[in-house]
Structure 1
């Protein structure tokens, strides 16, 4: 006989409490531990600082060929300058990849040459600035994905990390520390700075990172333009890259 006072008895007609799940929201700065990332569990996390230039593309290829080991994961780290929409130089970014004449390239020319103004301070109007910022963000994401192609082809786990800041040098070092990178690889020039002069000194960004990053910094020297490659097309129209012999141009007297 059923005893209603027996604590061991179960009355399945009683309502059951719902299962409670605690949701921990994540943020761009602090990802949820429950969300796996391509770089999770890597033996080393190697950063490659990129500025969307040819120099950065070369640094990524160099890292794949000469530095990345099995078990490593790569973080492509890009600091997008916040002052780019206020008439500042876009640095060494090559916008010729845009085939649509009415896309980003034309908009950038407006900013750098004949900006649309609404007051005497030469400030771009808010709607125009927002549109340009969205275009630039889209371009940055597309170009960053292009830079990651050697990593994808080599089946190296990677993720793209993009932040915005007006101080590229300091922010790079802060992100390197925050991400816990084992090392960071970057080009010796680029990042909107002037190309290396005849004195052979590093660019301002790479020099700053060498002295202030908490991890080892590998600075990749970009070969002379005429000494890198010559691009030709074969019979099927495919691009074929062939080395150029320029040894006679570098002989010392």
Structure 2
């Protein structure tokens, strides 16, 4: 792993892409390792390998591997071309390693677990900008991570729409 291990929580939504761009501009520097943390919902998987990874998460998946449609389908992730272009650009410009680690279960808990299991130096997470009522009813992943994790957290707000 690199000098620092910077995590970015991604689900490849516009909100997580904004967090990734922000991390590339403000946090990631040469020599770092960028670990993308993706959480798949419980019950999403049926294959034996994924059941084994439920407790620890998947192995680290290189950027070239998860760029392959066959590999991304195997793991159940769907990185869009824009995200893949952005990640390849970051990797080349900053001269860093980029890997993906997938966890299975509740996003709030699994992101906090990832921080300790990887371990991460810091994490950047997007915020969908839920209203106060929706945050109370649905629960905010970013609020939970800020209040329960063991490393510095940066929340990038999605001010659009």
TM-score (norm 2): 0.69
State which of 208, 211, 221 in structure 1 corresponds to 2:144.
Answer: 208
Match of 1:53 in 2: 13
- SS of the residue corresponding to residue 79 of structure 2 reads helix
Query: Which structure carries more strand by proportion?
Result: 2
Match of 1:150 in 2: 86
Offset, 1:63 = 0.9
The reply on whether 1:73 has 2:12 as its aligned counterpart is no
Conserved in 1, the CA contact under 8 Å of 2:9 and 2:125?
Answer: yes
Match of 2:58 in 1: none
State which of 99, 112, 132 in structure 2 corresponds to 1:173.
Answer: 112
Conserved in 2, the CA contact under 8 Å of 1:76 and 1:161?
Answer: yes
Match of 1:232 in 2: none
TM-score (norm 1): 0.45
Structure 1: any 5+ residue segments left out of the alignment?
1-39, 86-134, 190-194, 226-253
For residues 181-220 of structure 1, give each alpha carbon's deviation from its aligned partner in whole angstroms, at most 9, with x where no partner exists: 000000012xxxxx51168979611111001111011000
Whole-Å Cα distance in 2 between the matches of residues 60 and 205 of structure 1? 16
Match of 2:65 in 1: none
Name the structure, 1 or 2, with higher relative contact order (CA <8 Å, separation 6+): 2
For residues 72-109 of structure 1, give each alpha carbon's deviation from its aligned partner in whole angstroms, at most 9, with x where no partner exists: 11000001002458xxxxxxxxxxxxxxxxxxxxxxxx
The reply on whether 1:161 has 2:101 as its aligned counterpart is yes
Deviant stretches of 4+, over 6 Å: 198-202
Query: Which structure carries more helix by proportion?
Result: 2
Could you say which structure has the larger radius of gyration?
1
**Correspondence list, 1:1-253, <5 A:** 40=1, 42-83=2-43, 138=73, 140-143=76-79, 147-154=83-90, 155=92, 156-165=96-105, 167-189=106-128, 195-197=129-131, 204-225=140-161
For residues 90-139 of structure 1, give each alpha carbon's deviation from its aligned partner in whole angstroms, at most 9, with x where no partner exists: xxxxxxxxxxxxxxxxxxxxxxxxxxxxxxxxxxxxxxxxxxxxx9x628
Offset, 1:223 = 2.5
Offset, 1:144 = 6.7
Match of 2:54 in 1: none
For residues 132-159 of structure 1, give each alpha carbon's deviation from its aligned partner in whole angstroms, at most 9, with x where no partner exists: xxx9x62843417753432311323210
